Amino acid sequence: DQQVKQNSPSLSVQEGRISILNCDYTNSMFDYFLWYKKYPAEGPTFLISISSIKDKNEDGRFTVFLNKSAKHLSLHIVPSQPGDSAVYFCAAIPNSGYALNFGKGTSLLVTP
Amino acid sequence: DGGITQSPKYLFRKEGQNVTLSCEQNLNHDAMYWYRQDPGQGLRLIYYSQIVNDFQKGDIAEGYSVSREKKESFPLTVTSAQKNPTAFYLCASSTTGGFQPQHFGDGTRLSIL
């Protein structure tokens, strides 16, 4: 049963514009949410995380928003750059857990 | 330069063979994890270890085995009992005690000949 869902398999954005990647979850016990970026044939790279007690966390061009009532989070990348082209995975974990629950990923393409 | 090293990057296995995937970290992390990724899928947890000489099964442990004899090393053996071993295998590590993100190696792609 997929507890973390990324319903958009792909997204294409022009360079300089905002990229918005979405993620939904079903388990209300999740306490932390993470975004990872992955290039082909490489491991995921941690980007940014947010605690369930917050609704926003920002790190440079990356901002994650959390809407607990809707069980929804999003990653905003502003401005988007061609080097941002990769697969982005949303993941979640409860405070007492060890395993990250991953979505299936969204492939972002930033075009010049 | 700290990090997680997985070897080999590509591995081929004949039917009926066991193969072992290596994972070494020099981040001084207590916890280590093995995930499997299939095409178009998210990562699924195979095994994890919070401390040396102790490990627990994840969601898809059948057909796999691990050991944790050293803090730095967490090898994964894919046994002949694993009926569909072709996948991308990722090792991760993290500190323990409160939330800390898991950091990943670059993976091993296992294929069946």
pLDDT in tens, A4-28: 999 999 999 999 999 999 999 999 9
Q: What does pLDDT average to over chain B?
A: 92
Residue A111 has pLDDT above 80, yes or no: yes
Cβ distance B43 to A104 less than 8 Å, yes or no, reads no
Instruction: Give CA–CA dist A37/B112, Å, rounded.
Output: 28
List residues of B whose CB lies inside 8 A of any A CB: 4, 6, 9, 31, 33, 35, 40-45, 48, 50, 56, 58-59, 90, 92, 99, 101-107, 109
Candidates B31, B41, B101; nearest CB to A46: B101
| Cβ–Cβ gap A102/B107 under 8 Å | no
Burial class (CB in 10 A: 0-12, 13-18, 19+), A100: buried
Instruction: State the CB neighbour count (10 A cutoff) for residue A2.
Output: 14
Taking residues A63-76, report their average pLDDT. Answer: 97
The nearest alpha carbon in chain A to B10 belongs to A41
* Euclidean distance between CA atoms A17 and B17, whole angstroms: 50
The pLDDT value recorded for residue A37 is: 97
Q: What is the pLDDT of residues B5-49, one digit of tens each?
A: 999 999 998 888 999 999 999 999 999 999 999 988 889 999 999
pLDDT of amino acid B1: 62
- Rounded to whole angstroms, the Cα distance separating A18 from A30 reads 27
Is B42's CB within 8 Å of A44's CB? Answer: no
CB contact under 8 A, A104 and B31: no
